[in-house]
Amino acid sequence: MTAPLVQLVDIPQHGDARGGLSVAELGGALPFLVRRVYWIHGTKPGVSRGFHAHKELRQFCVCVAGSVRMSLFDGRREESVVLDSSAKGLLIGPGLWREIHDFSSDSVLMVLADAEYDESDYIRDREQYIRNAR
Ligand code: T46
């Protein structure tokens, strides 16, 4: 049995009558120490992003507003998931090609990463990625 590419994690919810509060902490929803946070917002209509893999980086993606579709590819199999809830985090380990499509106009995709930005960790050439994945 092959492991699924899409790994969704439940994020504890502590909302009450005042509204929502979601928590991702080490030892809870988060399996790694966070060294960087970024968020993707204001994405223009029809735009897709990503189109790369990481050699080492681990990331935890939460769509905190709106929705996006994340597609993951390991060189053989492709799986896709719609992220539309701040109660679910998508864990993306190293070595997976990712593309992000179908951004809603109000989407905010927050990404927690286990390392600082490093362009040398990216594989941005799909053909090279597929060759390496074999
Ligand atoms: C990923 C997906 C989900 C930085 O300077 N620092 C950063 O931390 C990041 C993430 C980006 N940048 C610069 C590098 C580029 O000049 O911002 C520009 C846009 O980055 P990029 O084209 O890589 O953005 P996406 O949306 O295609 O990919 C991003 C992340 O880079 C990537 O790690 O997994 O979101």
pLDDT (tens digit, 9 = 90+) per residue, 25-76?
999 999 999 999 999 999 999 999 999 999 999 999 999 999 999 999 999 9
| pLDDT given at position 134 | 78
Residue-level length of the chain: 134
Instruction: Give residue-wise pLDDT tens across range 1-31.
Output: 789 999 999 999 999 999 999 999 999 999 9
Q: Provide, rounded to the nearest whole percent, the portion of the chain with pLDDT above 70.
A: 100
| pLDDT given at position 1 | 72
Which residue has the CA at smallest separation from atom 35 of ligand 1? 50
Q: Please, are residues 20 and 86 in contact by the beta-carbon 8 Å criterion?
A: yes
Q: Which residues surround ligand 1 with Cβ inside 6 Å?
A: 36, 38, 40, 49-50, 59, 98, 100, 111, 117
| pLDDT given at position 125 | 97
Residue 132 three-state SS? helix
